[in-house]
Amino acid sequence: MIKDIAYTAYPSDSVQKTREWYEQMLGLKFSAPYAEDGVEKYNEAQVGNCWFSLMTTEWIGRPAGSGVGIMFEVDNIEDTSKALKDKGIAVEDIYETPVCKITSFNDPEGNKVSLHQITVPH
């Protein structure tokens, strides 16, 4: 049945502005946008073997700020968290589990973005 994840998409009122934020703050590199009437409606960035996408709220059928499922893997969550705080992003305290560390913050649309660092390979 299911063999892979094609992509994940977060809702956005302004794909262009939100894309620019992800590029500047997280260093993601997005492909060429899909636009209609000069308005960016969709864009995607390859992250590892997967794709993280931004899509207009009208296309995704969900309000901006309702995205909550992305967990970006990082090598050093403490350094990444500090770098984001230095850029003015309100990053939550790091939470440690027996196998990983996690922290979260909001993108400019209010979507929840999480960072994950595996500490015990499984």
pTM over 0.85: yes
- Please give the pLDDT value at position 63: 96
Could you give the domains of the chain? Answer: 8-118 (3.10.180.10)
| Residue 121 pLDDT grade (very low, low, confident, very high; cuts 50, 70, 90) | confident
For residues 42-56, give the mean pLDDT: 96
Q: Going by C-beta distance under 8 Å and a sequence separation of 6 or more, which residues neighbour residue 98?
A: 120
Q: Going by C-beta distance under 8 Å and a sequence separation of 6 or more, which residues neighbour residue 102?
A: 71, 77, 94, 95, 114, 115, 116, 117
